[in-house]
């Protein structure tokens, strides 16, 4: 309420003074301008080991990527690295430090290619220019290796050009390119060696077949095919090798690195796509820079010395920013946290393209068979700015995951969260209110997704974690304003600021005003499409039953409920169209609470009353519909004609039964809290040395089937549980009995300690964070390098208190 009053007061002052009437809009525009400038360039091609593109430049993007392979033997080309692949079996890959506003450092250990690779990405302070420093050294110096690095650049779109400074192919150690595009303006790119020796052990096979020189080739590649750079390179190289063989040029083992240099044997005319290949002798380390400068910028990066200075500055700045946000004393834990956060931020990507949507397939909700979406149509193009769960396995936007990602990012860069939420919210359709649960935009993104999962359908929802996150943002803003009430100082907007939305509530107000109509449509779509069939329940539920506030997940099958996000978590067997899902009701409660908060900020009293009533109805329905007094927990329910009471509880103790507590829907004075604390802390059921299990060890479905959400520890849910324990019991729990409060403190302390100890152990041994953790051993399982919601361990280490 205070946040709303402060905003209303501020706006009233603006309106009262004619000379300042334009100030508010000017501040919003300046905030957006500085944000866009600081986030213009970054390695936004999340699916690449390293790939740069600009944000919000859709017609004329400059695309850059890096590839490498071992050129010392003919089979090395088969290990050409480009897209992040788990099957590459790299010993390590990922960011050690990173912030999309500043840059960072990525480290790669590629044993098969005998290469220790370090990539620094930095930007000028105005955000308009950038540089990449590529440094490499052998992992085993006793091997006579030759490492070939391939940089590709493409100026896409009509009216764009990218050409050699001298108008012809260059083979010098310094490559100079000049480019121009309507959206980017005029720019220059230089690629220049700093140290290292190009390969000279064997004789050159010809003037353009020489590993001792940089090979530069340009050609025309359609913009929607740039992502196939690896295939194009391999095809051209194969043709070149075949040409060498048929020409009868004598070759020996020492000539192989030269033979594996790309060249233009087909005499393609110069185009806007460029390959630049350098092959280094790994007898010593090597280093080269790629520097981009916009000609209109006042802060050009003029030399490699300036790149070195920017690397030094950015490294210090990144460490200082981390320390200012997270208090982690132990050096090993701190490194673990820094790298985990860096890789979450390093997974932020910008996507633009069409999506595949099936709007015509009708669901037979009484069959519960696997849904086949066989009538896809391309729609768009649209754009998305989003982090990804995993660069190797899920390099695309996930609605269900993204809210959890932003709960972590919020602790580091509050304003960045708004940019990402805004990108998602603006994709909500004006007429229907739908947004896809997966956003797979364009052919590059689709190339990483099995065909059966590429098509989206407007009937299928997901847990609305984005509204959970937005609700948290509003709560944080209100708490911040509460803390400075009466003594707030004016704060100026600066490009380096990451908390302007906390300091300046009118900026958050502006965003809320802009997206409220879309969020309202989305709320209506979500609750309308997932509303349950309640007619039969009306016969057995009388007092306190609100039939409009009962929900189920549309699209569940006999074995899976993918829309819930908890894919194989046990549900009613056999399925029934009239079953009601506890977690769907809980997420509807979060949506209603968030909409109430937004309406309150916007001073919409009628809307506040409406959503307050809906939220209260949902909380009452938790007890009326889903509370099982015998098992002392909330459960799914279904209609069973053979059951005496018609309503049958479907109780599988685990994440679903814990969700009303995890989402803070249980009243603080409820006597049911004691049962939650006992269940969470029960070592015979859910509590383990590695975290709270997804399903009770005593459940009949524990560890059955694919055992995805039937046992393993998931960090996103454990984070919610810790946060809720903090919410209900910090300070002892005012309305709880002493025994429950003491038990809650013990569960909180042990759970936090166990999660940190186990995840840090696995990271120390394997070098990665995982999708989930085995319920018996604690070892990482599922997708490797899953620095999506598993990155919430950073909050657990650096923000949540050690004890309640």
User: Considering the domain boundaries, does residue 20 fall inside one?
Assistant: yes
Q: Quote the pLDDT of residue 144.
A: 84
Q: Residues 25, 62: one domain?
A: no
Q: Quote the pLDDT of residue 28.
A: 84
Q: Quote the pLDDT of residue 430.
A: 95
pLDDT tens, position by position, 395-415: 999 999 999 999 999 999 999
pLDDT tens, position by position, 500-523: 888 888 888 889 999 999 999 999
User: Considering the domain boundaries, does residue 377 fall inside one?
Assistant: yes
pLDDT at 134 over 80: yes
Mean pLDDT value across residues 328-357:
97
| Residue-range definition of the domain harbouring residue 13 | 2-35
Q: Residues 278, 409: one domain?
A: no
Q: Residues 353, 455: one domain?
A: yes
Q: Quote the pLDDT of residue 792.
A: 98
pLDDT at 416 over 90: yes
572: CB partners within 8 A, 6+ apart: 579, 636, 638, 648, 650
Place of tokens 């690449």: 48
The question of whether 678 is a catalytic residue gets the answer no
Q: Which of 5-19, 571-585, 698-712, 750-764 has the lowest mean pLDDT?
A: 5-19
Q: Residues 475, 601: one domain?
A: yes
Share of the chain above pLDDT 90, in %: 82
Share of the chain above pLDDT 70, in %: 94
pLDDT tens, position by position, 22-76: 555 778 888 899 999 999 999 999 999 999 999 999 999 999 999 999 999 999 9
Q: Residues 440, 317: one domain?
A: no
pLDDT at 315 over 70: yes
The question of whether 567 is a catalytic residue gets the answer yes
Q: Quote the pLDDT of residue 753.
A: 98
Mean pLDDT value across residues 710-716:
98
For 68, the enclosing helix (H) or strand (E) is strand 62-70
Q: How many CB atoms lie within 10 A of CB 732?
A: 12
Beta strands in 258-370 (DSSP E): 273-281, 286-294, 349-357
CATH code for position 530 = 1.50.10.10
**Residue 233: closest CA among 470, 112, 71, 26:** 71
pLDDT at 107 over 70: yes
pLDDT at 774 over 70: yes
Strand 349-357, strand 455-456: pairing: parallel
User: Where is pLDDT greater, at 143 or 758?
Assistant: 758
Q: Residues 309, 203: one domain?
A: yes
- In eight-state DSSP terms, residue 532 is P
Q: Residues 543, 627: one domain?
A: yes
Q: Residues 253, 379: one domain?
A: no
Q: Residues 56, 144: one domain?
A: yes
pLDDT at 169 over 50: no
Q: Quote the pLDDT of residue 497.
A: 67
User: Considering the domain boundaries, does residue 736 fall inside one?
Assistant: no
pLDDT at 19 over 80: no
Q: Residues 53, 31: one domain?
A: no
Q: Residues 28, 56: one domain?
A: no
Q: Residues 255, 354: one domain?
A: no
Instruction: For residue 604, count CB atoms less than 10 angstroms from its CB and return exposed for 0-12, middle for 13-18, buried for 19 or more.
Output: middle
- In eight-state DSSP terms, residue 204 is P
- Among 567, 678, 682, 750, the active-site one is 567
CATH code for position 284 = 2.70.98.110
Q: Quote the pLDDT of residue 733.
A: 66
Mean pLDDT value across residues 136-155:
95
pLDDT tens, position by position, 420-443: 999 999 999 999 999 999 999 999
Q: What's the pTM? A: 0.94
The number of domains in the chain is: 3
pLDDT at 492 over 70: no
Beta pairing partners, 189 = 177, 292
User: Considering the domain boundaries, does residue 291 fall inside one?
Assistant: yes
DSSP 236-276: HHHHHHHHHHHTT----GGGHHHHTS---TT-PPP-SEEEE
pLDDT at 493 over 70: no
Q: Quote the pLDDT of residue 12.
A: 41
> Mean pLDDT in the chain?
92
User: Where is pLDDT greater, at 230 or 483?
Assistant: 230
User: Considering the domain boundaries, does residue 693 fall inside one?
Assistant: no
pLDDT-derived band at 10, boundaries 50, 70, 90: very low
């Amino acid at each position: 309420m205070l946040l709303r009053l402060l905003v209303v007061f501020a706006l009233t002052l603006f309106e009262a003074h004619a000379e300042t009437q334009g100030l508010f809009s000017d501040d919003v525009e300046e905030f957006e301008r500085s944000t866009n400038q600081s986030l213009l360039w970054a390695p936004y091609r999340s699916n690449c080991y390293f790939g740069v593109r600009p944000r919000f430049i859709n017609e004329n993007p400059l695309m850059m990527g890096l590839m490498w392979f071992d050129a010392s033997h003919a089979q090395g080309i088969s290990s050409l690295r480009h897209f992040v692949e788990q099957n590459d079996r790299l010993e390590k890959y990922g960011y050690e430090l990173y912030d999309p506003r500043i840059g960072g450092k990525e480290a790669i250990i590629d044993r098969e290619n005998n290469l220790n690779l370090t990539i620094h990405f930095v930007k000028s302070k105005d955000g308009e220019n950038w540089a990449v420093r590529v440094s490499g050294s052998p992992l085993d110096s006793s091997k006579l290796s030759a490492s070939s690095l391939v940089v590709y650049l493409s100026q896409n779109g009509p009216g764009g050009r990218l050409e050699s400074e001298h108008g012809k192919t260059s083979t010098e150690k310094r490559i100079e390119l000049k480019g121009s595009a309507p959206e980017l303006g005029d720019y220059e790119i230089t690629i220049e060696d700093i140290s290292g020796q190009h390969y000279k052990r064997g004789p050159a096979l010809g003037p353009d077949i020489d590993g001792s020189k940089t090979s530069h080739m340009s050609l025309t590649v359609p913009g929607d095919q740039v992502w196939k750079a690896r295939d194009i390179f391999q095809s051209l190289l194969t043709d070149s090798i075949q040409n060498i063989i048929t020409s009868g040029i004598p070759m020996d083992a020492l000539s192989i690195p030269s033979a594996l240099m790309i060249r233009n044997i087909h005499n393609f005319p110069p185009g806007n796509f460029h390959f630049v290949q350098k092959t280094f002798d790994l007898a010593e380390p090597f280093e080269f820079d790629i520097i981009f400068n916009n000609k209109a910028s006042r802060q050009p990066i003029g030399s490699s010395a300036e790149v070195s200075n920017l690397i030094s500055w950015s490294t210090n700045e990144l460490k200082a920013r981390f320390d200012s946000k997270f208090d982690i004393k132990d050096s090993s834990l701190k490194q673990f946290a820094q790298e985990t956060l860096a890789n979450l931020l390093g997974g932020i990507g910008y996507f633009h393209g069409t999506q595949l949507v099936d709007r015509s397939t009708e669901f037979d909700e009484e069959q519960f068979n696997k849904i086949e979406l066989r009538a896809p149509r391309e729609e768009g193009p649209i754009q998305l700015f989003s982090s990804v769960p995993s660069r190797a396995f899920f390099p695309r936007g996930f609605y269900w995951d993204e809210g959890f990602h932003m709960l972590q990012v919020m602790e580091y860069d509050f304003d960045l969260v708004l940019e990402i939420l805004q990108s998602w919210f603006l994709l909500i359709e004006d007429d229907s209110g739908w947004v896809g649960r997966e956003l797979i935009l364009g052919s590059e993104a689709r190339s990483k997704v099995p065909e059966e999962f590429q098509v989206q359908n407007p009937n299928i929802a997901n847990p609305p974690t984005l509204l959970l996150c937005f609700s948290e943002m509003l709560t944080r803003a209100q708490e911040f304003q509460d803390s400075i009430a009466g003594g707030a100082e004016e704060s100026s907007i600066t490009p380096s600021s990451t908390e302007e939305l906390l300091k300046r509530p009118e900026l958050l107000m502006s965003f809320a005003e802009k997206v409220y109509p879309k969020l309202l449509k989305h709320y209506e779509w979500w609750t309308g499409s997932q509303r349950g069939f309640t007619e039969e329940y009306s016969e057995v539920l009388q007092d306190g039953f609100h039939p409009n506030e009962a929900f189920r997940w549309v699209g569940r099958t006999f074995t899976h409920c993918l829309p819930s996000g908890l894919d194989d978590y046990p549900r009613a067997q056999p399925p029934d169209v009239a079953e009601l899902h506890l977690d769907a009701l809980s997420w509807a409660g979060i949506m209603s609470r968030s909409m109430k908060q937004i309406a309150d900020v916007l001073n919409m009293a009628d809307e506040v009353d409406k959503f307050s009533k809906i939220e209260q109805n949902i909380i009452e329905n938790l007890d009326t519909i889903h509370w099982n007094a015998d098992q002392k927990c909330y459960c799914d329910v279904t209609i069973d004609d053979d059951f005496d009471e018609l309503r049958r509880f479907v109780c599988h103790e685990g994440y679903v039964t814990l969700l009303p507590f995890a989402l803070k829907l249980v009243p603080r004075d409820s006597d049911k809290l004691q049962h939650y604390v006992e269940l969470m802390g029960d070592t015979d059921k859910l509590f383990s040395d590695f975290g709270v299990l997804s399903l009770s060890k005593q459940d009949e479905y524990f560890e059955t089937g694919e055992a995805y959400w039937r046992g393993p520890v998931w960090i996103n849910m454990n984070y919610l549980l810790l946060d809720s324990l903090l919410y209900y019991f910090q300070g002892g729990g005012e309305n709880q009995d002493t025994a429950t409060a003491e038990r809650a403190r013990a569960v909180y302390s042990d759970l936090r300690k166990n999660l940190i100890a186990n995840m840090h152990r696995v990271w120390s041994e394997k070098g990665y964070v995982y999708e989930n953790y085995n319920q018996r051993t604690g070892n990482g399982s599922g997708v490797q390098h899953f620095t999506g919601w598993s990155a919430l361990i950073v909050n657990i280490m650096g923000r949540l208190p050690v004890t309640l």
